Amino acid sequence: MVARLAGTLYTMQWMNSEMQDTCDRMLDTWSQLLALHPQESIEHIYGVAQTTLALARFLRLNENVLVHVWRGALLHDIGKIGIPKRLLQKPGPLDATEWRMMRQHPLYAYELLWPTPFLRPALDIPLYHHEKWDGTGYPYQLKGEDIPLAARLFAIVDVWYSLSEERLYRSRWNEQHIRDYIQLQSGRHFDPTLVAAFFAWRFGTAWTETLSY
């Protein structure tokens, strides 16, 4: 009886492992499709995901949580598939109507990902990464710790990466300029505790906080 139960559990574990491998291969495919869209590249998508995962590990988040952080970071802008290319390729500022359309992409991400049960725990980043600590973000104007931790963490990494890259509408910033900007936005755009954590991870500054997820 024990041997049969052990065999059943082993089979279930193997099936679960195979399912996870299949799911992760599907994520890779989706990420590569997203990289075909304007303003995205496979280097950016994987770079920002790897950096977010490294920062989450620095903060000692639970391994089960890290899986969802990784998946959410890979799919953070999947909703932009629903945005017209002319907006993503526009070299100048968006007008009010265009900006309203652009702000829909987190909601498109929700519509795309929610029907897939194993991706629901990863939705925190695609849906909430444009929320801001002071409540002025979108799509829901969440404030402070009402914004999921994974999304608050990712927001810092995403802005850091974006500012360090050439874009149609601006040149890349140097590292000191980006660091100054992130510090300026601490308590406005970003969770100040996580800004301190990011600087500690990247620059070796002091860090004594303990986070719970």
Q: Which residues are catalytic?
A: 80
Chain centroid to Cα 191, Å, comes to 15
Instruction: Report the chain's C-alpha Rg in angstroms.
Output: 19
Q: Are 192 and 46 in contact (CB under 8 A)?
A: no
3-state secondary structure of 203: helix
CB proximity list for 110: less than 8 A, separation 6 or greater: 79, 123, 126, 127
Residue matched to tokens 């049960």:
117
CB proximity list for 73: less than 8 A, separation 6 or greater: 48, 49, 52, 53, 125, 154, 157
- What amino acid occupies position 177? H
Chain centroid to Cα 83, Å, comes to 18
Q: Are 116 and 151 in contact (CB under 8 A)?
A: no
Rounded to whole angstroms, how far apart are CA atoms 151 and 132? 10
